[in-house]
A and B are shown apart, each in its own frame.
Chain A
Amino acid sequence: MIKLQNVTKYYPSALGNQYIFKNLNFEIPSGHNIAILGSNGAGKSTLFRMLAGSEYPNKGKIITDLHLSWPVALTTGIHPQMSGAENARFIGTINGVADLDTYVQRVRKFAELGRKFDLPVNTYSSGMKPRLAFACSIGIDFDVYLIDEVTSVGDAKFRNKTRRALTQKSKNANVIMVSHEMDELRHFCDSAIVLHKGELTFYNDLEQGIAHYQAL
């Protein structure tokens, strides 16, 4: 269970503070694969980053005892001057992986970068970097994976592979997913949270959520 307590979040701007959430109280139940639905600018990404601990609310708290991932396939944490292996090791150390060597081996196997895995990331093509990032996050066992449009990673073959890996993961773990592709959401999720005007609504049934979202 992830508990949002009195969460207020705004971004300062030239037109005054832009409020995304005001005194939001909400509980995201465990044991569901949840799709987050909302129109552009509704605050999906903000909610996402706050859940991931990349950003913090201006007021209030987000409380959970679950082990949440960082936004999967986010490439910003990858250092361009370090090699793929060094990056994987860095991410493993930060996340407290017990056996780093095995972890790096698994990332190497999953990312399928061949010898490039030992070369600096700035020599990678644009498709290879997200592959590395995805392999790093899927290599760690989290309780909940936060997924932001992840299935657009890499070429068709790798995309299938990520899909399979995530489907496998979603048996033991849960996912919270943001996507505009309903087919994706239907594949991975069973319930939905609709985000509208700073309010969250939970729907136990995904189809019901999608229907409400499309009626907005």
Chain B
Amino acid sequence: MTTVLKRSNWAIWRDVIFALFVREIRTGFNDRLGLAWAIFQPLSFIFLLSFLRGKMDGGDTHTIPTFEFMMYGMLLIQLFLETLTNCAAAIKKNKSLFAFRQVQPISSVLASALFSLLIKLSVFALIFLIMYFLKMDFKLDDPLFILLNIVTLWMFALSLGLMFAIAQCYVPEISKIQSVLSRPMFFISAVFFSMQDVPKEYWPYLDWNPILHAIELTRHAAYNTYSTEAVSEFYLFFSALVALFFAASIYHISWKQAISR
């Protein structure tokens, strides 16, 4: 006799997201490099970029050590891109699981998003650990604000990803547009430059981009001496909120049809 629990909707949600999350962890790192690659890849990039930039300005970039400057840029843009790609692919990937009535597309998207966030947070933690053991100087002036920025950016990526994922159920070609659109984000989001390097009259061409705000604000949160003249918290939070609102609305009206096609 198998007892099946009568669960509330929330409990079903929690169980399903947990199960999908475990499944994600179990199958996400299936090649031999596995988790090591998730850490090594951004790290090598950060070293390369900070080496190149360090050559030019010698150690510090606008009052931040160049290594950390690049670290926040790289990890945040990667968090954004990976969350976006994983979420956008999540519905299609788990399509066969919607045969179980308990599994809804949103659970699949949330599990993917949580997985991306968890990986990036561990990479953050690991890099700080490495810096600690290498006795590099680092400051965390406002750690809570760093976390807040990370989570807000993650929410923004999650919302965009959810919208792309639903759009893909109707028009599969959207995935190509998504990759074309997301590719330049690496170059225009202040990953390896600062807004302070850019002449003021060109700011309007760059600062429509919430990712740039998140990256610059995080640098400021770590080193309060870093200027945030070009960016605003309000803009970042507001963009994330608007994106979340639209993603949730679109999801609410269309998820049943999206998986019934």
A56-B257, A70-B100, A96-B7 known; A79 vs B2 contact (CB < 8 Å)? no
Answer whether residue A43 sits at the interface, using C-beta atoms and an 8 A cutoff: no
Say which one of B19-27, B49-57, B181-189, B226-234 lies at the interface with A: B19-27
The reply to whether A95 and B99 contact each other, CB–CB distance below 8 Å, is no
- Give min CB distance, A45 to chain B, whole Å: 12
The reply to whether B100 and A95 contact each other, CB–CB distance below 8 Å, is yes
Interface bits A33-77 vs B (CB < 8 Å: 1, else 0): 000000000000000010011111110000000011011001011
The reply to whether B99 and A74 contact each other, CB–CB distance below 8 Å, is yes
The reply to whether B98 and A54 contact each other, CB–CB distance below 8 Å, is yes
Say which one of A21-29, A98-106, A153-161, A199-207 lies at the interface with B: A98-106
The reply to whether B4 and A97 contact each other, CB–CB distance below 8 Å, is yes
Interface residues on B, range: 20 to 34
- Give min CB distance, A46 to chain B, whole Å: 10
Give Cα A202 to B206, complex, Å: 66
Answer whether residue B96 sits at the interface, using C-beta atoms and an 8 A cutoff: yes
The reply to whether A99 and B2 contact each other, CB–CB distance below 8 Å, is yes
Interface bits B91-124 vs A (CB < 8 Å: 1, else 0): 0000011111111000000000000000000000
Give Cα A11 to B259, complex, Å: 12
Answer whether residue B18 sits at the interface, using C-beta atoms and an 8 A cutoff: yes
Answer whether residue A113 sits at the interface, using C-beta atoms and an 8 A cutoff: no
Answer whether residue B253 sits at the interface, using C-beta atoms and an 8 A cutoff: no
Answer whether residue A213 sits at the interface, using C-beta atoms and an 8 A cutoff: no
* B8-59, CB < 8 A from A: 11-12, 15-16, 18-19, 22-23, 26-27, 30
Answer whether residue A93 sits at the interface, using C-beta atoms and an 8 A cutoff: yes
Answer whether residue A2 sits at the interface, using C-beta atoms and an 8 A cutoff: no
The reply to whether A96 and B99 contact each other, CB–CB distance below 8 Å, is no
* Residue among A55, A58, A67, A77 making CB contact with B259, cutoff 8 Å: A55
* Residue among A12, A55, A79, A142 making CB contact with B27, cutoff 8 Å: A79
The reply to whether A70 and B99 contact each other, CB–CB distance below 8 Å, is yes
Answer whether residue A81 sits at the interface, using C-beta atoms and an 8 A cutoff: yes
* Residue among A55, A56, A94, A99 making CB contact with B3, cutoff 8 Å: A99
- Give min CB distance, B7 to chain A, whole Å: 5
Give Cα A97 to B2, complex, Å: 7
* Residue among B23, B27, B98, B99 making CB contact with A71, cutoff 8 Å: B99
A55, closest chain B residue (CB): B260
The reply to whether A96 and B12 contact each other, CB–CB distance below 8 Å, is yes
- Give min CB distance, B252 to chain A, whole Å: 13
Answer whether residue A139 sits at the interface, using C-beta atoms and an 8 A cutoff: yes
Give Cα A141 to B18, complex, Å: 22
- Give min CB distance, B68 to chain A, whole Å: 37
- Residues on the A chain within 8 Å of B16, using CB: 93-94
- Residues on the A chain within 8 Å of B257, using CB: 56, 58
Interface bits A114-135 vs B (CB < 8 Å: 1, else 0): 0000000000000000000000
A sample of 22 inter-chain contacts (CB < 8 A) reads A49-B99, A54-B98, A54-B100, A70-B101, A71-B99, A76-B96, A77-B96, A77-B97, A82-B23, A90-B22, A90-B23, A93-B18, A94-B16, A94-B19, A95-B4, A95-B100, A96-B4, A96-B7, A96-B11, A97-B5, A98-B2, A140-B2
Which residues of A does B touch, CB under 8 Å?
11-12, 49, 52-58, 67-68, 70-71, 74, 76-77, 79, 81-82, 86, 90-91, 93-99, 102-103, 106, 139-142
